[in-house]
Structure 1
Amino acid sequence: MRAVLWEGKPEKVVVKNVPVPTIQRPEDVIVRVTVATICGSDLHIWHGELGGSEVPWIMGHEAVGIVTEIGTAVDTIKIGDKVVIPDAPAAGHIVVDAVRTPLGELGSGSYGLGNGFGLDLGGCQAEYVRVPFADDSLTKIPNDPAINELDYLLLSDIWPTAWECLDFSGFRPGDAVAVFGAGPVGLLCAYSALLRGASAVFSIDHVPLRLELAKTLGAIPIDFTKGDPSAQILAKRKEGVNRCCDCCGSVTSLNGNLERDPDYIMREAVKLASFRGGIGFVGVYFHCPPSQGTPRGDDVPANISFPISDFMSKNLSLSGGFADVKRLWRQLLDLLEGGRAHPSFIVSDEVGIDEVPEAYERFDKKRETKTIIRFPWQDESS
């Protein structure tokens, strides 16, 4: 099968033929991928900052596909079902099957991050994927050309991650929200805040294309190259905002001069948050030691400076980490099936698998908001 591989060379992925995955446990299924994505966290790998220590590995952790093979213990999933693959499959019914990875306990691990992050899972930027504990890992979606499968595709990771950032911040309906970053996660965070009843949403970035898209959603765009976002927003709302959401992380935290400044977003969030407000973060603050798989691991600092005194004096809260996407599926599916949410508005680019290396470059240069990879059998019947 064709798959996108990371071989440890910064700013480069390759497309090669690799073996098709096979059933390894009775609870496994094999999924033929119909559409996958390039995610912002894939760029951290592409830059050599995140992932396992050994190369190569298959990239990607967001996909929709058709089940083509099932293990003998699989009960609710059938051959021919159309399914969403989560970024991190379930651990199964026995706790000892969970994997302790560098990112914490991730069930059977995570797709697309290499060794140390899963039980030989591979990645989703490939024609076929093995899914362990399929009954608990997968969610079925309508195999119907009338639906927009891209809305469902974003359940794999990015939309639940954006939604959970609001949860981390302590969001409640009526809150004013500032979202740092208007990349795909940040845009979906702003979108979700408005969907959930925010009174005002500020979208902070410097890329005109992204800020314009945020404005079309109903968010207030803030270009941080024209002054600190805290100063710009406090001039509009002297009380600040109830919730701040960091959808960038230290590795993409830039100051007004567009220089890397790992502390900048957290400093600004503490300035901007109102008394008893909250800060949520899903941006990457995770440090990987330099290795074959992470030749630039030191680019992500293990520690940052934090304004703890101001944080305490305002009685703020801080929470963040990695989203458990499966936990949020039911409520997000209800929004999709009820026609109330259409998160695929962020998709701006569609490529075939052999075009993926160039698509990474465009995405890194912020020429696209979200890129999907469509496979040639997409329109074939299952």
Structure 2
Amino acid sequence: MTDNTTASRDSPTRTQKAVRWHPPSYDIRVEEIPIPEIQHPDDAIVKVSLAGLCGSDLHVYRGHGGANDVHVCGHEFVGHVVALGSSFSEPAVGRPILYSSLKLGDKVVSPFTSNCGECSACRIGYTARCPEGLLFGSPSLNGGQAQYLRVPKAGGTLFNLSDPTTWTSSMNEEQKKAALSHLADSSLLVLADILPTGVFAATQAINHPKVQPIITGKPWPLCFSSTTGNDISILEEDRIFTAAIVGLGPVGVCAAISLLDTVAGRNIPYRIVAIDPNASRREKMKAVVDKVLESDGKQGGEFAVVSIDEAKDKVKEWTNGVGCAAVLEVVGNPSALSFSYDLVRAFGVIVSVGVHGEPPLPFNGSAVYNKNVSMDFGRCPARAMFPLAFDLLVKRQDVFGGVGEPASLVDKIVTLSEAVESYRAFDKGEVGKVIFDPWN
């Protein structure tokens, strides 16, 4: 069914306010554009309640994102369904469950890419590389910094927050319902990108094969087998998980929270150093970590927040010059990768979730050979990460639940009319996580 009447009641003029990027760079405008309509049977139209400004938006803003066409910005949004394509009109056999259950009025949150939910990549969990996937807030798909947007492949993309039986969690159905009843839209919004991406980075690091000798207490390669031996003994100091987080924007903060939650939950001794050149981001990270460690994790290890100039000395001190077992690179530029390489130990891992552009990677053959470092790059499969991210969101409402407090991930909620200034301030590091309310 195509329900243009619902959208018409919401906006009789059939136009909407939207934040749009204009080439070549640094040109953000708030404009009146048509409200999107159903184009395909699998589409949904969502009335946006809140939309986020993300660090990835800055790549396009600065002209580094490879975009050349005007488009609506933003890939983080939460809202309500106001129109559905004909695929949602009757039970869909063999298709994602939302094609049979999603209804008008349901509250939804979306990962930052559309996903079919039916291909091999989606079935395995690599949803970020769905062949039919599109990135919201790009020339190929208008984004969420608007009053309405179109969601293609909506049955395989959206999460129905009005019906938690349609997605998994470590909580049972009653616990999920109870949790959702207390979660603000500003908190739910971080499920679109930054929290799944932070959890993704931490999950890759702590579960990487090269970290397993530390986790299991068995040397390589016996850490992968039931074989035991006494020819090599791992000392207690070898079993301290040492990690660095390079970049303390919102994703870096989420990665730190996820990593702390993991090591505390598994009783893994740790030393984590969080690094950023921006003093205000370091202060935010300190406030967040103090809040998190008040409730758990404090007894398990050490966490330091430092500047770039201090980082190498801190890692050298904590690891006796060996280097970190894992480095989470959350910036997305060659200098951050070079710095990560300097911090990581031989047979360590660099997990890069920053968005890298055209500049070549700063490594030659000798560098990658001489240190036996593994490097993981690429986009977070946000839809696949949603269950883990949701559970962490509920657990850490002391960080994700508030707005504007020293330990709150979200700094402020503003109107679309403040988009131009918000982009400028975010680009300059003068403000952290900003959320847009398109209806005020």
Question: Which has the larger share of helix?
Answer: 2
Cα distance in 2 between the residues matched to 1:64 and 1:95: 27
* Offset, 1:170: 4.8
Amino acid at match of 2:277: H
* Counterpart secondary structure, 1:335: helix
Q: Which residue in the other structure is 2:424 paired with?
A: 361
Aligned pairs (5 A) from 1:309-320: 309-320=366-377
Q: Which residue in the other structure is 1:100 paired with?
A: none
Deviations 1:98-118, CA, capped at 9 Å, x for gaps: xxxxx965533111121xxx3
* 1:270–1:307 Cα contact (<8 Å) kept: no
* Offset, 1:341: 7.6
* Offset, 1:94: 5.7
* Offset, 1:9: 4.1
Amino acid at match of 1:177: A
Query: Which of 137, 140, 148 pairs up with 2:157?
Result: 137
Cα distance in 2 between the residues matched to 1:308 and 1:215: 38
Aligned residues: 338
Is 1:161 the counterpart of 2:197? The answer is: yes
Query: Which of 200, 205, 221 pairs up with 2:305?
Result: 221
* 1:203–1:222 Cα contact (<8 Å) kept: yes
Q: Which residue in the other structure is 2:105 paired with?
A: 80
Cα distance in 2 between the residues matched to 1:106 and 1:230: 41
Cα distance in 1 between the residues matched to 2:277 and 2:108: 36
Cα distance in 1 between the residues matched to 2:131 and 2:204: 18
Is 1:247 the counterpart of 2:283? The answer is: no
* 2:145–2:438 Cα contact (<8 Å) kept: no
* 1:187–1:214 Cα contact (<8 Å) kept: yes
Q: Which residue in the other structure is 2:171 paired with?
A: none
Is 1:59 the counterpart of 2:73? The answer is: yes
* Counterpart secondary structure, 2:383: helix
* 1:273–1:279 Cα contact (<8 Å) kept: yes
Deviations 1:209-246, CA, capped at 9 Å, x for gaps: 1111212233411111x35x333321233232211011
Deviations 1:67-86, CA, capped at 9 Å, x for gaps: 11111212221111111022
Q: Which residue in the other structure is 1:324 paired with?
A: 381
Cα distance in 1 between the residues matched to 2:434 and 2:61: 15
* Offset, 1:249: 1.3
* 2:119–2:130 Cα contact (<8 Å) kept: no
* 1:159–1:343 Cα contact (<8 Å) kept: no
Is 1:194 the counterpart of 2:260? The answer is: yes
Amino acid at match of 1:316: V
Q: Which residue in the other structure is 1:5 paired with?
A: 20
Deviations 1:132-191, CA, capped at 9 Å, x for gaps: 222211112259773222222111111111222223435467622101011111111112
Amino acid at match of 1:268: F
Query: Which of 411, 417, 426 pairs up with 1:348?
Result: 411
* 1:249–1:282 Cα contact (<8 Å) kept: yes
Query: Which of 324, 341, 347 pairs up with 1:270?
Result: 341
TM-score, normalised by the number of residues in structure 2:
0.71
* Offset, 1:96: 12
* Offset, 1:337: 4.2
* 1:348–1:369 Cα contact (<8 Å) kept: yes
* 2:199–2:389 Cα contact (<8 Å) kept: no
* 1:168–1:318 Cα contact (<8 Å) kept: no
* Offset, 1:131: 1.0
* Counterpart secondary structure, 2:101: coil
* Offset, 1:307: 5.4
* Offset, 1:266: 2.5
Cα distance in 1 between the residues matched to 2:437 and 2:200: 27
Is 1:93 the counterpart of 2:108? The answer is: no
Pair 1:95–1:248, CA change in 2 (3 A): same
* 1:33–1:124 Cα contact (<8 Å) kept: yes
Cα distance in 2 between the residues matched to 1:169 and 1:96: 22
TM-score, normalised by the number of residues in structure 1:
0.81
Cα distance in 2 between the residues matched to 1:80 and 1:159: 25
Amino acid at match of 2:85: G
Query: Which of 232, 235, 240 pairs up with 2:317?
Result: 235
* Offset, 1:363: 0.7
Cα distance in 2 between the residues matched to 1:243 and 1:92: 32
* Offset, 1:57: 0.8
Q: Which residue in the other structure is 1:298 paired with?
A: none
Amino acid at match of 2:378: G
Of 177-186 and 339-348, more deviation after overlay is shown by 339-348
* Offset, 1:311: 4.0
Kindly report structure 1 stretches of 4+ aligned residues shifted beyond 6 Å: none
* Counterpart secondary structure, 1:348: strand
* Counterpart secondary structure, 1:200: strand
* 2:245–2:330 Cα contact (<8 Å) kept: yes
* Offset, 1:310: 4.6
* 2:129–2:381 Cα contact (<8 Å) kept: no
Aligned pairs (5 A) from 1:41-56: 41-53=56-68, 55-56=69-70
- CA root-mean-square deviation: 2.5
* 2:201–2:351 Cα contact (<8 Å) kept: yes
* 2:115–2:130 Cα contact (<8 Å) kept: no
* 1:90–1:136 Cα contact (<8 Å) kept: yes
Cα distance in 2 between the residues matched to 1:31 and 1:163: 26
Greater CA radius of gyration, 1 or 2?
A: 2
Amino acid at match of 1:155: L
Is 1:109 the counterpart of 2:134? The answer is: yes
Q: Which residue in the other structure is 1:128 paired with?
A: 148
